[in-house]
Amino acid sequence: VETIPWLDETEDRAWRAWMTMVERLRSQIARDLLVECGLSEPDYLVLVHLSEAEDHRVRMSELATRLNWSKSRLSHQLDRMQSRGLVRRESCPSDARGTFAVLEAAGLGEIERAAPRHVLSVRRHLIDVLDAEQLNALAGISDRVIAHLSGESACAEARRAAEDEALAAD
């Protein structure tokens, strides 16, 4: 009845600890940002990208790609930010289908005020908590997982088939 590879004690411990860390760390940093700066994580990310862009403007499609977001998600997010005066939309002259997301002066002010506070939050809760070796290990682990996720879509079907067999045999 053990055709399924359950997690052993070490694996389970690592998985649970990771889950807990992610949940607690993300919510803490998000709360800091919201309380201190009145910005959500998505708000912050959009503002960072626009503030670093040429002319403070990026095509919606391009911005969605850079953020690794769906077009729909970005469109909704921009609706909210536009209604608060942080960004605006402008049509693209060279392609009538296209739209630019453009940073407003208010948005620039917000991100300049928020950035140092956000860095402090990240430092306080994560960076300064780890030693140099752990920081390095974290980068290595993250890179490997990301690379695997990026590469595996190619052979996903074969893997699914193999797993279904394993499940059926149980």
Residues that bind a copy of itself (CB under 8 A): 4-7, 10-11, 13-15, 17-18, 20-26, 28, 68, 116-117, 119-120, 122-127, 129-130, 132, 134-146, 148-149, 152, 159, 163, 166-167, 170
CB of 92 or CB of 145, closer to a copy of itself: 145
Note whether 60 and 78 are within 8 A (CB).
yes
**How near is the Cβ of 59 to a copy of itself at its closest, in Å?**
21
Note whether 67 and 45 are within 8 A (CB).
yes
**How near is the Cβ of 142 to DNA at its closest, in Å?**
19
Residue 41 contacts DNA per CB under 7 A: yes
Within 8 A by CB and 6+ apart from 49, the residues are: 58, 63, 66, 67
**How near is the Cβ of 132 to a copy of itself at its closest, in Å?**
8
Q: Which does 78 bind (CB under 5 to 8 A by kind): DNA, a copy of itself, none?
A: DNA
CA 9 to chain centroid: 30
Q: Per-residue x/- mask for DNA, residues 95 to 114, rule CB under 7 A? A: xxxxxx--------------
CB of 51 or CB of 82, closer to DNA: 82
Region from 41-49, 108-116, 119-127, 153-161 binding DNA, contact rule CB under 7 A: 41-49
| Complete edge-to-edge strand list for the sheet that includes strand 87-91 | 57-59, 99-103, 87-91
Within 8 A by CB and 6+ apart from 28, the residues are: 121, 125
Phi-psi region of 164 (alpha: psi -120 to 50; beta: other; left: phi over 0): alpha
145-164 as b/e, with b when 16 or more CB fall inside 10 Å?
eeeeeeeeeeeeeeeeeeee
Note whether 39 and 78 are within 8 A (CB).
no
Residue 61 contacts DNA per CB under 7 A: yes
Contact positions vs DNA (CB under 7 A): 27, 31, 34, 40-43, 59-62, 64, 69-80, 89, 92, 95-100
